[in-house]
Amino acid sequence: MRGMTVRYQALRGTRDILPDEIAAWRFLENTTHEVFSRYGFRELRTPIFEATELFARSVGAATDIVRKEMYTFTAGDESVTLRPENTAPVVRAFVEHAFHRTIAAGFPERLYYLGPMFRYERPQKGRQRQFHQIGAELLGAPEPLADAETIEMAWSLLSALSIEDRELRLNTVGDTACRPRYRETLTRWLAPRLPALCEDCRRRAVENPLRVFDCKVEADRKLLEEAPDMAGSLCAPCAEHFDAVRAMLDGFKIAYVVDPRLVRGLDYYQRTVFEIVATGLGAQNALLGGGRYDGLVDELGGPAIPGFGFAAGMERLVMVMGKTAGVAVSSDVLLVGLGEIGFLASIGLARTLRARGLRVAMPLTERPLGAQMKRAERLGARFALFVGETELARGRFGLKNLTSGEQIEVDEAGIEAVVLAERNDHGR
Ligand code: HAM
């Protein structure tokens, strides 16, 4: 390979989050920590890879995620998978650390996470192979209020991010008592129509008929519009639960549309499922989605404990948050050393000011004044501080506000005072 020039690029479906974008990401992260903690959620960080089996068992062997989107590899003699989602890992951790011992009726465990997920999907706007999710999981709460309150929290997060063009879609997929009945009804309805459906749907019809609603083929979707709804097969407890959730959302004054075709692409859901979509984001417009997963904890080896949660795509949130959210962090002050003596003195001064919490920029070598002022502009520095022989002798320095152009004279303590006051005024 020697002598050949190779240009490396981030792999398809992955991207660098550049320094100029970080302000928005930090704003999103900080807002999430702030909003979720108000609802009593505690952060949990799980590894980014897990046993492949964990996802196959929970997300479901017939889902697109498990069938064709997982990054799975063998390490030693273990089959491991980069997490395509984080509900299963959270439940795995919940069971492993016996969190259920500390929950009590009415007081579920509330956990949340932020981090990268991996799905081998066809990349497009808003869809990547490495993407990031914010998620919240409530374990040990059978009450409809768990559903309504968690949806309300998701709604508040979007409000705090100033995302107003959104729509809440809601549905119920029944439970182990009534879903088999619906499955049968659907299978019967599908049977004569199978020849008209795509190959994937024909397979789904056999493996897990509800998955036909994941189909992206336009003609199939049209045909499936006529399919019977879950609503007609719901058992009384599921119907009551759904009515209660809706009544609470009405009480919270959160508008929603019931979408009978909303089944979500993961198998662990029971009863309530929901999505919030951004109106005007194009094809990949689901900002977040989730629902109830009452059978999952025991499926993964724990006690029979109900669950409810959701996850949001951070890239999509950043896209609709717009440019105003988040304040860029820039340098407070650029030290402009004048001449060799000034340059050498500014090295010590930079250390002192940094130790006091100021964000200080300075060149690593003596540079002409003009070059330094240009750099101050590039850095978005708020002040330039002139450090020359005369200034050092007098113990007073010229401090120029680069926004207003105004220049004042300050001593060392004054630098800190003026710069920090300006930072507080601007909230950064
Ligand atoms: P999900 O619907 O697969 O649910 O993903 C949740 C959100 O992650 C989506 O609404 C979307 O914003 C984002 N997302 C998913 N795939 C991609 C991708 N390839 N590129 C960019 N963003 C993406 C789950 O993952 C469940 N674990 C949610 C949950 C939590 N259910 C209960 N608790």
The backbone region for 294, taken as left when phi is positive above 0, alpha when psi lies in -120 to 50, beta otherwise, is alpha
CA of 53 to the centre of ligand 1 (A): 20
The mean per-residue pLDDT over the stretch 120-135 comes to: 97
**Token digits of residue 115:** 């981090």
Average pLDDT, the chain: 94
CB–CB of 119/311 below 8 Å?
no
Rounded to the nearest angstrom, the distance between the alpha carbon of 118 and the centre of ligand 1 is 10
275 CA to middle of ligand 1, Å?
10
User: Ligand 1: which residue has its CA nearest to atom 31?
Assistant: 290
Query: From ligand 1's centre to the CA of 215, what distance in Å?
Result: 17
Cβ neighbours, 10 Å, residue 275: 21
Provide the percentage of residues in the chain whose pLDDT is more than 90: 86
* Least confident interval from 43-47, 128-132, 265-269: 265-269
> Is pLDDT at 47 greater than 80 in this prediction?
yes
Tell me which residue of 350, 314, 346, 315 sits closest to 32, measured CA to CA: 314
Nearest CA to ligand 1 atom 18: 127
pLDDT score, position 303:
96
Answer yes or no: is pLDDT of 329 > 70: no
Helix (H, G, I), strand (E, B) or coil at 407: strand
How far does residue 58's CA lie from ligand 1's centre (Å)? Answer: 15
Predicted local distance difference test score (pLDDT) of residue 130: 98
123 Cα nearest atom in ligand 1: 19
Percent of the chain with pLDDT over 70: 97
Collapsing DSSP to helix, strand or coil, 67 comes out as: helix
pLDDT tens digits along 83-119: 999 999 999 999 999 999 989 888 999 999 999 999 9
Residue 127 CA: nearest ligand 1 atom is: 20
| pLDDT of amino acid 4 | 79
* CA-proximal residue: ligand 1, atom 1 (nearest): 289
Contact 65, 111 (CB under 8 A): no
The best mutation among 117, 128, 317 to test binding of ligand 1, ranked by most ligand atoms within 8 Å of the C-beta, falls on: 117
Let me know how long the chain is: 428
Maximum CA extent, the chain: 94
Mean pLDDT of 17-23: 92
When pLDDT is cut at 50, 70 and 90, the band that residue 428 belongs to is low
Per-residue pLDDT, averaged over 405-411, amounts to 96
Ligand 1 is surrounded, with C-beta below 6 A, by 85, 87, 119, 121, 126-128, 131, 133, 135, 137, 265-266, 286-291, 293, 309-313, 315-316
If you measure from the C-alpha of residue 311 to the centroid of ligand 1, how many angstroms do you get, rounded to a whole number? 5
Distance CA 179, CA 168 (A): 23
pLDDT at 1 over 60: no
Per-residue pLDDT tens digits for 243-275: 999 999 999 999 999 999 899 989 999 999 999
Tell me, what's the pLDDT at 280?
Answer: 79
pLDDT-derived band of residue 417, with 50, 70 and 90 as boundaries? very high
> First and final CA of the chain: distance in angstroms?
48
Q: SS3 of 39, please?
A: coil
How far away, in angstroms, is 84 Cα from ligand 1 center?
9
- Which helix (H) or strand (E) segment holds residue 89: the answer is helix 87-96
State residue 106's pLDDT score: 87
CA of 147 from ligand 1 middle (Å) equals 17
**Which residue minimizes the CA distance to atom 16 of ligand 1?**
127
Residue of 110, 133, 263, 300 best suited for mutating to test ligand 1, as the one with most atoms within 8 Å of CB = 133
Show the beta-strand stretches assigned E in 225-285.
Answer: 257-258, 272-278
Question: 189 CA to middle of ligand 1, Å?
Answer: 30
Q: Whose Cα sits closest to atom 17 in ligand 1?
A: 127
pTM attached to this predicted model: 0.91
Give residue-wise pLDDT tens across range 195-244.
Answer: 999 999 999 999 989 999 989 899 999 999 999 999 999 999 999 999 99
Ligand 1 atom closest to Cα of 65?
3
> Residue range 290-317: average pLDDT?
97
- What is the pLDDT, as a whole number, of residue 105? 86
Q: Find all residues with CB under 8 Å of 114, minimum gap 6, and list them.
A: 29, 32, 43, 132, 133, 134, 135, 314
pLDDT tens string 348-396: 999 999 999 999 999 999 999 999 999 888 888 999 999 999 999 999 9
Strand segments (E) across 279-341 = 286-292, 307-313, 333-337
pLDDT band at 324 (very low <50, low <70, confident <90, very high): low
Beta bridge partners of 360: 333
**Given a cut of 80, is residue 328 above it in pLDDT?**
no
